[in-house]
Amino acid sequence: MGKIELQGVEKSFGKVDVIQDVNLTIADGSFVVFVGPSGCGKSTLLRLIAGLEDTTGGKILIDGTDVVDTPPAKRGLSMVFQSYALYPHMSVRKNIGFGLRMAGAPKAEIDRKVEAAASILNLTQYLDRRPGQLSGGQRQRVAIGRAIVREPKAFLFDEPLSNLDAALRVQMRLEIAKLQDSLGTTAIYVTHDQVEAMTMADSIVVLNAGRIEQVGSPLELYNHPANLFVAGFIGSPKMNLIGGAPAAAFGAATIGIRPEHLHVAGDGGTWRGKVTVAEHVGSDTFLYVHVEGAGEITVRAPGEVGLEPDDMVGLTPEEGRIHRFDSEGKALAS
């Protein structure tokens, strides 16, 4: 119904290779998140799937058919844009129903489907308003409504939550996840926010400079990052990456240990250092500890820990939580 495959997909703008040899299979009904830093090509990849850009090479298969030469209007996909891209001169009702109108559906059917979508998204009372009269969150829901009403093979989301304030973002995250779950439609979601990725995805695709670094479930990426890039990208605060002597002690060029996997004590500890900054947020305590030979280590301790700058502490990594990487940044077997 909504299985998407990318085979050897490439995209260049002039001499610049933006997407390089991407191979990916997206199972029908799954929620896949493309995540990566700015400029990694995640939006470009999404737009290639949508058909808004032409590929320079490779195939894109939707349910087994190569759509590389099919215009976006005929691919049977829906897209929710970062800026929502609502039609300013049309009412909410007409905005949502536009796709059905283009497909030539009878008016009664359009009305029925529009009202159904509106009720799912709590937009019924706004149906006759114009986008200019709606708040950001409402506009976003209209954009989603427009996408779901056509019952597409897959939803494409291009950083839809970036323009919302923090509280609204959390709320919409939940709503989108619930919606996709109940509709069962394949969803491809692009974001630079790894928290969104971790909370919403069935499967995460980490992209960097046009290449896939790793594909896996959120916990897979958390527990077993395949390389330094993924290790440093997933998880907040960032994983501590230490080279030099401490790494050599574990037989690796670089080792990584997440801030939440370090125990803090006044005495002893595998590494000793002085606290430079202590952040007390109540639920956790974040300590930045300077360790000779290892640099600045971030520690996340649960609850309230009464340590202050200039205190000497000992840090001990949790058993089995050390990640080892070779000189090329690839993960070594634990």
Query: Total binding residues for other proteins by CB under 8 A?
Result: 27
Residues in 143-202 that interact with other proteins by CB under 8 A:
146, 150
Q: Tell me whether residue 73 or residue 195 sits nearer to other proteins (CB atom).
A: 73
d(CA 260, CA 95): 46
| Neighbour tally for 15: CB within 10 Å | 5
Q: What tokens does 186 get?
A: 């394949």
- Residue 170 burial (CB < 10 Å; 0-12/13-18/19+)? middle
86 touches other proteins by CB under 8 A: yes
**Non-local CB neighbours of 252 within 8 Å, separated by 6+ positions:** 324, 325, 326, 332
**Which helix (H) or strand (E) segment is 167 a member of?**
helix 166-183
Amino acid identity for residue 208 in this structure: N
74 touches other proteins by CB under 8 A: yes
213 touches other proteins by CB under 8 A: no
**Cα torsion 288, 289, 290, 294: sign:** negative
78 touches other proteins by CB under 8 A: yes
Q: Which stretch binds other proteins (CB under 8 A): 15-23, 68-76, 120-128, 189-197?
A: 68-76
102 touches other proteins by CB under 8 A: yes
- DSSP code for 149: T
Instruction: Give the strand pairing for 211-216 and 203-208.
Output: antiparallel
Specify which residues 26 forms β-bridges with. Answer: 4
89 touches other proteins by CB under 8 A: yes
Q: Which of 7, 61, 68, 87 binds other proteins (CB under 8 A)?
A: 87
Q: Which stretch binds other proteins (CB under 8 A): 97-105, 237-245, 253-261, 294-302?
A: 97-105
106 touches other proteins by CB under 8 A: no
Q: Which of 27, 39, 66, 83 binds other proteins (CB under 8 A)?
A: 83
Torsional class of 152: left (φ above 0), alpha (ψ -120 to 50), beta (otherwise): beta
Binding mask 29-48 for other proteins (x = CB under 8 A): ------------------x-
Q: Tell me whether residue 47 or residue 169 sits nearer to other proteins (CB atom).
A: 47
Q: How far is the CB of 74 from other proteins (least distance, A)?
A: 8
Q: What tokens does 16 get?
A: 């610049």
Q: Which stretch binds other proteins (CB under 8 A): 58-66, 74-82, 195-203, 234-242?
A: 74-82
Q: Which stretch binds other proteins (CB under 8 A): 80-88, 229-237, 255-263, 288-296?
A: 80-88
Contact present, 198 and 204 (Cβ < 8 Å):
yes
Q: Tell me whether residue 81 or residue 288 sits nearer to other proteins (CB atom).
A: 81
Q: How far is the CB of 45 from other proteins (least distance, A)?
A: 14
| Neighbour tally for 6: CB within 10 Å | 22
99 touches other proteins by CB under 8 A: yes
Q: Which of 64, 88, 106, 306 binds other proteins (CB under 8 A)?
A: 88
**Non-local CB neighbours of 279 within 8 Å, separated by 6+ positions:** 285, 286, 287
Sheet holding 240-242, edge to edge: 240-242, 254-257, 323-325
What is the binding site for other proteins (CB under 8 A)?
A: 47, 50-54, 71-74, 77-79, 81-83, 85-89, 98-99, 102-103, 146, 150
